[in-house]
Chain A
Amino acid sequence: MFRQYQGFIVPIGILMLCVIVIIFGIIPGARQTYALFSQISDARQEVSDLRAKVTLLGSLDEATLFSQLSLLSSAIPVDKSVPTILSTIDGVGAATDTIFSSLQLTSPGSIATEAAKRQTTEEAALGSYLLPFTLTMEGNYQQLRNTLASLTSSRRLLRIKNFSISFANSGVGRSIMSMDTFYAPLPKSLISGTKKLVPLTQKEDAILTQVSSLPLLSRGVAPVGVVSVPRIDPFSP
Chain B
Amino acid sequence: MPVPGDINLVKTKTSLTPELVAFMGQLRLASFVGIGVVLVVGFLIGVSFLFLTNERNSLAETKKQLLVAIAADAKKEGLFISLKDRVPVVDRAIQNEKPWGQILDMVGNVILPPKLVSLAVDDHQVVSLSVKAGSVEEVAGWINSIIDLVAKKRVRSSQLVSLQLTKEGSMLVSFSFIPN
Contact = CB atoms under 8 A, between A and B. Distances in A.
The yes or no verdict on A and B being binding partners is yes
Interface in B57-75: 59-60, 62-63, 66-67, 69-71, 73-75
Which of B27, B81, B83, B117 is packed against the most chain A CB atoms within 10 Å? Answer: B83
A233 to B, nearest CB: 10
Contact of B73 (A44, A58, A187): A58
A54 B71 CA distance: 10
B108 interface: yes
A170 B89 CA distance: 43
Interface of B is mostly: helix
Contacts, number: 241
A152 interface: yes
B41 interface: yes
A169 B114 contact: yes
Contacts of A75: 90, 93
Which of B48, B56, B89, B105 is packed against the most chain A CB atoms within 10 Å? Answer: B89
Interface stretch (B119-127, B142-150, B154-162, B163-171): B119-127
Interface of A: 1, 3-4, 7-8, 10-12, 14-15, 18, 21-22, 25-26, 29-30, 32-33, 36-37, 39-40, 43-44, 46-47, 50-51, 53-54, 56-58, 60, 62, 65-66, 68-69, 72-73, 75-76, 125-128, 140-141, 144-146, 148-150, 152-153, 157, 159-167, 169-171, 173, 182, 184, 186-187, 189-192, 194, 197-198, 200, 204, 207-208, 210-211, 227, 229-232
Q: Name the 8 nearest CB pairs between A and B, nearest first.
A: A149-B101, A230-B78, A190-B78, A11-B31, A14-B31, A18-B34, A164-B120, A50-B66
